[in-house]
Structure 1
Amino acid sequence: MKPYKACSCRDPETKRLLGKKCPELSKKQHGRWYARYEAPKSAEGSRRQPRIGPFDTERECKEGLGKVLGTASNPKAHDERKTTLGQYLERRYTWRTSEAETGEGLKKSTLVSEREAIDLYLSPGLGHIKLVDLSDEHIRELYAAMRKINRPEEGEERTEVLRRLQEVRATRHGKRLHSRPISESRIRRVHAVLHGALTDAAKLSKIRTDNPADGVWRTKGGKRKQGRAKPLLWTAERVEQWEKTGVVPAKVMVWSSDQCGAFLDFAEASGERLYPAFHLDAYYGPRRGELVGAEEQDLSLARRRLHVLQAQSDDELDDTKTEAGYRQIPLDDETVRVLKAWHKRKLEERLRWGELYQDAGRVFCYEDGTALKAEYLSSRFRILIERYANIRARAAEKWSVERIARKYRTSEASVEAALRMTLPPIRFHDLRHGAATMLIAAGVDDKFVSEVLGHASVAFTKDVYAVVAEELAEDATRKISAFIPRQGRVSAVGANTVPSGH
């Protein structure tokens, strides 16, 4: 098992390989390093002494021999010596898909995300490397290449890994992939797939003795991840208890249609600049990053469509959460009216700012045209809810509508809207949950709801929202534009608000 040097020179007379007997081996640059080790006997009981190599140096040969000897007593590891990472990933994915079909494995959305990670990054970047030879350096090189995707550096040559990744990203399933940089959150999701596969390779398949992905991506310690929190509806009983104790019943709470309508009326009457964003989110539930990342070229008011093609994460544009996130949202008449008014307002702001206007090309932006930060949207939402509560508190102290309006520098119409009913707190993201719930309760087809929200499957949509939708169903008699009651507006029951084809 001691490393030895050999070459491919041949005897000039017999034409046989000289191997270890070549007289030139004493020269530094001549020959390569090899080693043999004692492997488990074959199924027939015969002895096996495989050779590993070649290596450029004796030290590399010893390191390689050490890795092999760590699994030499395991027949499975020896048999899988030539298995590549790509082959193992495909084999493992087949197992996981089979488990999912029995109802005992992963959800379809998780498998879709894992398939993307394998096809776009792991297989093209590392798939050709033998599983037993994969090291942390290979993994770090992959992540470094991912960070360079669509970030041109002048004078810097592309690595082989980066070249392979870019070739694969050109098109997928006949569609061109986005040409934006890869976010750290996306790299983290790819790492989770790779780490899980290498853990299985070590603990289940026994091909390796270690996991080279350990420590490559350091994460913060903390509480164990909990299961998905399902939403609860703010019923009259829960609102009454919250007013007494101040305790919110669950992490994810959903407004009733009346409560949602009261908020939108209040936001609109207050002259809230970003009211159109809240309106769109309450009706169709795009994710916050998708709202902020939506570009003007993706919104067609003439065709009544919003194309969701990207999202903003960590102040950078990125792909949507999964491929199911690439979708079209059909818009109803009321939403089109709101967005037309918003477009007019943006044009007026552009004229006021003049040359200082910086057009980011986004649907929703700051007054100077620059791209919104996602947290700003949430901040404005929280401010409106707090102002709503403060107005009601002043009314309880017998303040007049006029005095309250002067105090909070708002319109009397917004004060009157706030006095309609109590508005319990929710998070901005809960507008998305509310949209899903009200669409289902309004009788909209489950598949249509799933597509509008960008969910990977109808089953997921029904699993998360079915119960709370049943609670809300008694109040839902209209679809889409009519399912949120609005002050001073009447919509005919049964109006054709769902675009044709859905």
Structure 2
Amino acid sequence: MKPYKACSCRDAETGRLLGKKCPDLAKKSHGKWYARYEAPRSADGKRRQPRVGPFDTERECKNELAKVMGGEATSASAWDNRKLTLSEFLERRHAWRVTEMEAGDLKPSTLESDREAIDLYYSPGLGHIKVVDLDDQHFRELYAAMRLLNRPEEKAQRSELLRRLQEARAKRDGKRLHSRPLTEGRIKRMHAVITGALNDAVKVSKIRTDNPADGLFRAKGSKKKGRTKPLLWTPERVARWEKTGHIPAKVMVWSSEQCGAFLDFADACEDRLYPLWHLDAYWGPRRGELVGLEDSDFGLESGVLHVRQSQADDDLDDTKTEAGDRQIVLDEETVRVQKAWRKRRAEERLAWGAAYQDSGRFYCYEDGRALRPAYVSVRFGLLIERYAKLRKRHAEGWDVERIARVHRVPVAAAQVALRLPLPPIRFHDLRHGAATMLLAAGVPDKLVSDALGHASVSFTKDVYAVVAREMAEDAARKISAFIPRARKINTAGAINVPSGT
């Protein structure tokens, strides 16, 4: 296994290669450095002594020898895989993962994400490079090219790498498969695919000893990012929002009064999706879970809802986590609202007749088609905007009847909107609000965690336990009563001193 020097000179008489016997090898510029090492025997038991080289210096030869002896050639197949290109390796790994999905160990959406990363980015961009030859610079250049896609500066670039990515994203008619620029978040999601694949190359296939894609994206700052906790819309925050438009945090939660005002408004407006808003505000299913609910998942006679699947985009999939597959025992009011919805759907089906497309979903469009998740969020946002417009008209001096007539809403809906301001939240924040109000209502932590489909009770307590102002006020009262004090202030402000002191 010791490195040696050899050349391609031949004997003048026999014509044979001189190799290590060439007399000119003593010269510094003559010959190259090689090394052989003992590798695992082949499948038929034959001895294998692969050679590394040529190298210009002995040091380079020793470094490469140490590299392959350190793990890249721990099996016969590992040495053979050294010639494997990234495209070939990704396709082979994808075939493995297909079998994992068929066995139920992998979600179809994960496999689709892998396929997108392979077809649009890694195969056209770096697929021709051997896995063992990849380094971090290859990925930095790839991501730089990905950031240029569908941007004005794209046409000014002439790199071969960018051209291959452009071709991969084109349809048969020459139009782009995707016309929007890639966000940094999407690039990171694609990066997660290659990081996992190269981890397999290191730990499973033993093709490499390191992962060159590892560590390219680093978290900002030195502190570990914690869980984003919801913030309650208190009267003080609402007053500031009305005055300046300031939203204190990304995740905001309505108080029970604000949530009730929204549901009353949607009900009074006779909004078609009011039953969906009601269920989410009371019990907090995720958006994909609501859209994925089927008729058979609702046991309205028994008052039990079975959440067992989710629809993130266009395809139905399992719930986000194993804990997400759950049953929720519904309250009487929620059951009443959902029964009314079922009756309305039956009337719509009769009205559409043969044109009705039965998707089997509990919540659907009027013609029976399955709802798109994005539609739910947009519809929710429009309701909040409508609520705000009615209040704005009243501030301009319009009376309730005029507001209702011009904006085509029932008078009862306009009256609800004038009760109190409704600050903005995202649709997903209804779920956060449901968790907060369930805890504030005294529902045990374990039951709340189960209803929301959280993986652990500690997560539920950590994120939601102190959000509701009602809970904080109750805690303040309890701690005051819990600690015995000799001197207490009465309601009139006087100090009560126990007798005998």
1:338-377 correspondence to structure 2 within 5 Å: 338-377=337-376
1:41-440 correspondence to structure 2 within 5 Å: 49-51=38-40, 72-73=65-66, 77-78=70-71, 81-82=74-75, 136-137=86-87, 139-141=89-91, 144-145=94-95, 161=96, 164-165=99-100, 168-169=103-104, 184-185=112-113, 192=192, 195=195, 198=198, 208-211=208-211, 227-440=226-439
Tell me the CA shift for residue 230 of structure 1: 1.3
Cα distance change, pair 313–37 in 1 and its aligned pair in 2 (3 A): farther
| Higher mean C-alpha displacement, 247-256 vs 297-306 | 297-306
The TM-score, its normalising length taken from structure 2, stands at 0.61
Query: C-alpha separation between the residues in 2 aligned to 1:355 and 1:220?
Result: 54
The question of whether the paired residues in 2 share the 8 Å contact of 1:287 and 1:429 is answered with: yes
Q: Which amino acid in 1 is paired with 2:405?
A: R
Cα distance change, pair 194–162 in 1 and its aligned pair in 2 (3 A): closer
The question of whether the paired residues in 2 share the 8 Å contact of 1:202 and 1:208 is answered with: yes
The question of whether the paired residues in 2 share the 8 Å contact of 1:134 and 1:212 is answered with: no
Tell me the CA shift for residue 136 of structure 1: 3.2
Q: Which amino acid in 1 is paired with 2:74?
A: R
SS of alignment partner, residue 307 of structure 1: strand
Query: C-alpha separation between the residues in 1 aligned to 2:250 and 2:379?
Result: 20
The question of whether the paired residues in 1 share the 8 Å contact of 2:90 and 2:197 is answered with: no
Which residue in the other structure is 1:33 paired with? none
The question of whether the paired residues in 1 share the 8 Å contact of 2:70 and 2:209 is answered with: no
Query: C-alpha separation between the residues in 2 aligned to 1:453 and 1:71?
Result: 54
Tell me the CA shift for residue 212 of structure 1: 7.3
Count of residue pairs brought into register by the alignment: 358
Query: C-alpha separation between the residues in 2 aligned to 1:325 and 1:258?
Result: 29
Q: Which amino acid in 1 is paired with 2:90?
A: R
The question of whether the paired residues in 1 share the 8 Å contact of 2:52 and 2:65 is answered with: no
The question of whether the paired residues in 2 share the 8 Å contact of 1:37 and 1:51 is answered with: no
The question of whether the paired residues in 1 share the 8 Å contact of 2:466 and 2:472 is answered with: no
Cα distance change, pair 130–211 in 1 and its aligned pair in 2 (3 A): farther
1:14-29 correspondence to structure 2 within 5 Å: none
Query: Unaligned stretches of 5+ in structure 2?
Result: 4-33, 45-49, 56-60, 118-188, 476-501
Which residue in the other structure is 1:151 paired with? none
Query: C-alpha separation between the residues in 1 aligned to 2:394 and 2:367?
Result: 36
Tell me the CA shift for residue 168 of structure 1: 2.4
Query: C-alpha separation between the residues in 2 aligned to 1:447 and 1:235?
Result: 27
Q: Which amino acid in 1 is paired with 2:348?
A: E
Q: Which amino acid in 1 is paired with 2:276?
A: A
Tell me the CA shift for residue 50 of structure 1: 2.8
Query: C-alpha separation between the residues in 1 aligned to 2:71 and 2:113?
Result: 36
Tell me the CA shift for residue 325 of structure 1: 1.1
The question of whether the paired residues in 2 share the 8 Å contact of 1:71 and 1:77 is answered with: no
Residues 47-91 of structure 1: CA deviation (Å, up to 9, x unaligned) = xx3356579xxxxx779999x98764159824982599xxxxxxx
Residues 332-387 of structure 1: CA deviation (Å, up to 9, x unaligned) = 10000000000000000000000000010001100000011111111111111011
Tell me the CA shift for residue 182 of structure 1: 5.5
The question of whether the paired residues in 2 share the 8 Å contact of 1:291 and 1:364 is answered with: yes
Query: C-alpha separation between the residues in 2 aligned to 1:82 and 1:309?
Result: 44
Question: CA-atom RMSD, angstroms?
Answer: 4.3
Which residue in the other structure is 2:30 paired with? none
Q: Which amino acid in 2 is paired with 1:281?
A: D
Query: C-alpha separation between the residues in 2 aligned to 1:309 and 1:190?
Result: 28
Q: Which amino acid in 1 is paired with 2:112?
A: E
Q: Which amino acid in 1 is paired with 2:100?
A: L
The question of whether the paired residues in 2 share the 8 Å contact of 1:450 and 1:458 is answered with: yes
Query: C-alpha separation between the residues in 2 aligned to 1:262 and 1:186?
Result: 44
Q: Which amino acid in 1 is paired with 2:91?
A: E
Q: Which amino acid in 1 is paired with 2:365?
A: Y
SS of alignment partner, residue 376 of structure 1: helix
Tell me the CA shift for residue 211 of structure 1: 2.8
Residues 223-248 of structure 1: CA deviation (Å, up to 9, x unaligned) = 89965321100001111111111110
Tell me the CA shift for residue 299 of structure 1: 1.1
Which residue in the other structure is 2:463 paired with? 464
Tell me the CA shift for residue 474 of structure 1: 4.5
Q: Which amino acid in 2 is paired with 1:136?
A: L
Query: C-alpha separation between the residues in 2 aligned to 1:449 and 1:352?
Result: 40
SS of alignment partner, residue 397 of structure 2: coil
The question of whether the paired residues in 2 share the 8 Å contact of 1:233 and 1:471 is answered with: no
The TM-score, its normalising length taken from structure 1, stands at 0.61
SS of alignment partner, residue 305 of structure 2: strand
Tell me the CA shift for residue 327 of structure 1: 0.9
Query: C-alpha separation between the residues in 1 aligned to 2:454 and 2:380?
Result: 24
Q: Which amino acid in 2 is paired with 1:184?
A: E
SS of alignment partner, residue 306 of structure 1: strand
